[in-house]
């Protein structure tokens, strides 16, 4: 492991806070930078939190200096596919331009190891599934294009500045911590599992299933749902290999998923089976930018990171239900 502190941007958010917990459990020194636009201060626990913007290079420089930052995990970004198609400028500015400002600030401060929160959406609808890292990069939304763009930017920073990076292409993060201390905020979440929980527990609003005419067994989209604790552990492993300097490529992209796809209706069925409660839902039209089916071939992450997902859809539903029932 590299000596020094890990800066986690967006560490008060959903995946960020689980990763902060995982880093703290591994006895890492951690500092969080979060605007709290969507994050919750209490989610970071006792870890130092600086409230600010990743584009504020002075603030980032101060954090790096004051805490001895050598590694960065970058979560801070907007992530709603539909919104990105309606407000593209907001996504170009925050997800791309502000990330460049962050990278400039941390590299000037001497941090040379960077883990980026990317997305399987960079593949669009892949020609074959499970999808591996050799698949064409073919984004179908502005959000996905911002992730693909930052990956390319990181490859150039590897060439020009010597920055070493791992881009983790998430499949669908879901679930909550097993101790029920942190989970996804359903008041702002747009992901399927928290929306299922909200409809089930509150009875309203009814869940909308967007698209029932896809070329899948039940007509609904298929995704690879990965437990958020498994995803958090992948970040810890990525920092380990960056610190050890064992990766052949200075800029590496890895799929982080389970290798199993579940349709929207299968997720609803699992929620009803595990909780014994009904999920009120209605059928709606397709949304622009939604790929038909994506699930991972995570073998490269297993080989390079020594990482293995431990949980499946049942654990995702159980922990999400325990968290949201609070």
Q: Which residues are part of the catalytic machinery?
A: 143
Distances (CA, A) of 159 to 2, 113, 156, 241, 250: 21, 14, 5, 19, 8
Do 148 and 137 meet the contact criterion of CB atoms below 8 Å apart?
A: yes
Please give the Cα distance from 104 to 239 (Å, whole number): 19
Any alpha helices (H) in 29-141, and if so which ranges?
57-67, 81-86, 88-91, 98-108
* Vertex 321: Cα angle to 325 and 213 (nearest 5): 125
Do 307 and 233 meet the contact criterion of CB atoms below 8 Å apart?
A: yes
Sheet holding 113-119, edge to edge: 49-51, 29-34, 5-9, 69-74, 113-119, 164-170, 251-256
Please give the Cα distance from 80 to 76 (Å, whole number): 13
Coil, helix or strand at residue 55: coil
* Vertex 102: Cα angle to 57 and 165 (nearest 5): 150
In the block, which residue shows the tokens 């990743």? Answer: 54
Q: Give the number of other Cβ atoms within 10 Å of residue 26's Cβ.
A: 14
Radius of gyration of the chain (CA): 19
Q: Supply the DSSP string of 230-286, one letter for each residue.
A: HHHHHHHHHHHHHHHT--SSSEEEEEES-S--EEHHHHHHHHHHHH-----EEEEPP
Q: Give the number of other Cβ atoms within 10 Å of residue 273's Cβ.
A: 11
Distances (CA, A) of 300 to 103, 140, 169, 297, 325: 26, 24, 12, 8, 36
Q: Which two tokens stand for residue 176?
A: 């909550």
């Amino acid at each position: 492991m590299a000596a020094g502190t890990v800066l986690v941007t967006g560490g008060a958010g959903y995946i960020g806070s689980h990763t902060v917990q995982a880093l703290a459990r591994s006895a890492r020194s951690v500092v969080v930078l979060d605007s709290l636009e969507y994050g919750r201060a209490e989610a970071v626990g006792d870890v130092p939190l600086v409230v600010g913007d990743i584009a504020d290079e002075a603030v980032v420089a101060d954090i790096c200096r004051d805490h001895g930052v050598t590694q960065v995990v970058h979560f801070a970004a907007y992530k709603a596919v539909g919104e990105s198609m309606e407000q593209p400028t907001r996504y170009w500015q925050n997800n791309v331009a502000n990330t460049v400002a962050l990278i400039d600030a941390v590299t000037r401060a001497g941090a040379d190891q960077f883990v980026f929160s990317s997305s399987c959406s960079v593949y669009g609808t892949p020609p074959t599934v499970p999808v591996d890292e050799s698949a064409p990069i073919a984004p179908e939304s502005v959000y996905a294009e911002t992730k693909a763009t930052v990956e390319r930017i990181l490859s150039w920073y590897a060439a020009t500045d010597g920055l070493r990076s791992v881009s983790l292409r998430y499949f669908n993060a879901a679930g909550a911590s097993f101790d029920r201390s942190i989970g996804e905020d359903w008041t702002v979440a747009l992901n399927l599992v928290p929306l299922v929980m909200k409809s089930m527990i509150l009875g309203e609003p009814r869940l909308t299933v967007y698209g029932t005419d896809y070329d899948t067994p039940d007509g609904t989209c298929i995704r690879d749902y990965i437990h958020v604790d498994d995803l958090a552990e992948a970040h810890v492993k990525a920092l380990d290999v960056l610190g050890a300097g064992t990766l052949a490529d200075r800029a590496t992209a890895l799929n982080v998923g389970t290798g199993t796809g579940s349709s929207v209706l299968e997720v609803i069925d699992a929620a009803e089976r595990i909780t014994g409660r009904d999920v009120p839902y209605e059928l709606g039209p397709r949304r622009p930018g939604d790929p038909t089916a994506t699930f991972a071939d995570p073998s490269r992450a297993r080989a390079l990171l020594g990482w293995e997902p431990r949980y499946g859809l049942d654990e995702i539903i159980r922990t999400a239900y325990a968290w949201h029932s609070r």
